[in-house]
Amino acid sequence: MKSSGIGGQAVIEGIMMKNKDRYAVAVRKPDQEIEVEVRESGSVMKNPILKKIPIVRGVLSFVESLVLGMQTLTFSAGFYEEEEAKPGKAEKAFDKIFKDKAESVVMGLTVMFSVVFAVAIFMILPYYISELLRPYVISSALMALIEGALRLAIFIGYIFLITLMKDIRRVFMYHGAEHKCINCVESGLPLTVENVRISSRLHKRCGTSFLLIVMIVSIIFFFFIHTPNPLWRVVIRLLLVPVIAGVSYEFIRLAGSSDSAVVNLLSMPGMLLQRLTTKEPDDGMIEVAIRAVEAVFDWKQYLADEGKITQEELAQLRAEEGFEFIVDGEES
If you write DSSP's letter for every residue of 52-69 in order, what string do you get? TSTTHHHHHHHHHHHHHH
151 touches 218 (CB < 8 A): yes
Report pTM: 0.87
- The pLDDT assigned to 3 comes to 83
Task: Note the pLDDT tens digit of each residue in 190-218.
Answer: 999 999 999 999 999 899 999 999 999 99
pLDDT for residue 187: 93
What is the predicted pLDDT for the residue at 102?
66
Q: What angle do CA 178, 252, 140 make, to 5 degrees?
A: 130
Other beta carbons less than 10 A from residue 10's beta carbon: 29
Question: Which pLDDT does position 317 carry in this prediction?
Answer: 82
* Contact between 264 and 221 (Cβ < 8 Å): no
How high is the pLDDT of residue 106?
A: 72
Residue 236: phi and psi, rounded to 5, are -60, -40
pLDDT at 44: 60
Alpha-carbon distance of 7 to 254, in angstroms, equals: 15
d(CA 200, CA 185): 11
C-alpha distances (whole Å) from 151 to each of 53, 271, 273, 295 are: 29, 19, 15, 39
Q: Helix, strand or coil for residue 331?
A: strand
Question: Which stretches of the chain score pLDDT less than 50?
Answer: 83
Per the CB < 8 A criterion, the answer to whether 201 and 179 are in contact is: yes
Give the pLDDT confidence score for residue 225 in this predicted structure. Answer: 87
Cα(308)–Cα(82) distance, rounded to whole angstroms? 46
Q: Are 266 and 251 in contact (CB under 8 A)?
A: yes
DSSP secondary structure letter of residue 87:
P
Can you give the residue ranges of every domain in the chain?
A: 7-80+92-331
Dist CA 104 CA 98 (whole Å): 9
Residue 82: per-residue pLDDT: 57
